[in-house]
Amino acid sequence: MNKHKAGAGRAFLVLLLVLSVTRLCPGYSVLTHEQIVDLLWKDQIQPLLVKRFPGATKDDLRKAHAYAYGGCMIQDMGYYPFGKKYFSDLVHYVRSGDFVVSLMQESSDLNEYAFALGALAHYAADNSGHPTINHVVAVEFPKLHAKYGEQVTYANDPKAHIRTEFGFDMVQVAKNRYTSDQYHDFIGFEVSRPLLERAFLKTYDIKLEDVFGDPDLAIGSYRRSVSTIIPEMTRVALLSRREEIVKDTPNFDKKKFLYYLSRADYEKEWGSVYRKPGIGTRILAFFLKVIPKVGPFKAAAFKIPTTQSEDMYIKSV
C-alpha cells in the first residue's frame, strides 16, 4: 500500500513537472538537438576538439561529449523549472549569434570548447529547422493552416509546436533511429558555468547571477529535468499511446524505446535508480490518456506525425 501511495505521489509530482516543461521554446525539441550533436560528433565536433587540444585522450573526449550535450540545449535553460525566461529570450532573439561567438572565444579547455560547439549546433539547428517545423505544424493542424498559412510560428501557437516536436522525438525513438552505440542519452550531460558566465557577461554586459539569482539552482534544475522528466515522459508515452506510435514499426523494441540506456551505464553515472515503468508512471499514463486535452494538458497530447511530416523532419535534420 505504501509503495502504491509513493507511486501515486510521484506520478502527481511528475505530472506537475511535465506541465512545466510545456514552456519549452520553439525549434527542435530535446531529443533532436541531442541527436544532431551525435550526428556531428565523429566527423565534425571531435576533429575540432582534437585539432585544438591534440593531447585529448579517449576518456577526455567521452567527457567532452557530455559537455557538448549540455551546450546543445543551453539556450533553452531559462524555460526549465527555476529558470528565467528572460535568459532564453535574450540568447534566442537578441545577439544570439554573438552569444555563441562569445562562448567559442571564451572557451579555454577541452570541455568548455565542447560546450561551446554544442551551443553552436543548437544555434545552427534552430535557424535551419524553424522553417521546416513551422511548415510541418501547418500540415499537421489544418485549422492553423487555414488561419496562418504555410508557416505557423511558435508565437502563433506554442502548444501545437510542442505537440509536434515531442511527437517527432517519440516516433524516432520508437523506430530505433536513436541507437544505443551512438546515442549516449542525456544522463551524462554537463554544464560549464564559468564559461557560461563569461560569455553571457561579454555579450550582454549582464552577470548571470543578476538574471537567475541562483545560477546553480537553475543549472541543476535544467540538468535534472532533461535526465529525469524527459525519460518519464517517454515511459508515459510508451504506455499511453504505444499502439499508435508503433503501428508501422513491426520490430518495435520496448527496451530500446526506453532510451537505449543500459542499466549498468545508468548506475555507473547516477546510481541504481533506473526504473521500468512503475505504478506511478502507469497512473500518470492513465491520467494523461483519459483527461481532456485542454488548457495546460493540451501540450501533453503530442502529435504523431504523418509520413509526409516525418519525411520533412528527417530531411531538415
Residue-range domain boundaries for the chain: 2-316
Could you give the angle at which helices 58-71 and 110-140 cross, rounded to 10 degrees? 40
* The predicted structure's pLDDT at residue 295: 43
The low-confidence residues of the chain, meaning pLDDT below 50, are 1, 6-13, 22, 179-187, 257, 259-277, 280-299
* The predicted structure's pLDDT at residue 28: 59
pLDDT by residue (tens digit) across 75-132? 989 888 788 989 999 999 999 999 999 999 999 999 999 999 999 999 998 888 778 8
- Helix, strand or coil, per DSSP, at residue 108: coil
* The predicted structure's pLDDT at residue 86: 94
The answer to whether 309 and 135 have CB atoms below 8 angstroms apart is no
pTM of the model: 0.74
* The predicted structure's pLDDT at residue 303: 65
How many whole angstroms separate alpha carbon 176 and alpha carbon 35? 12
How many whole angstroms separate alpha carbon 158 and alpha carbon 243? 26
* The predicted structure's pLDDT at residue 186: 47
* The predicted structure's pLDDT at residue 267: 41
* The predicted structure's pLDDT at residue 183: 43
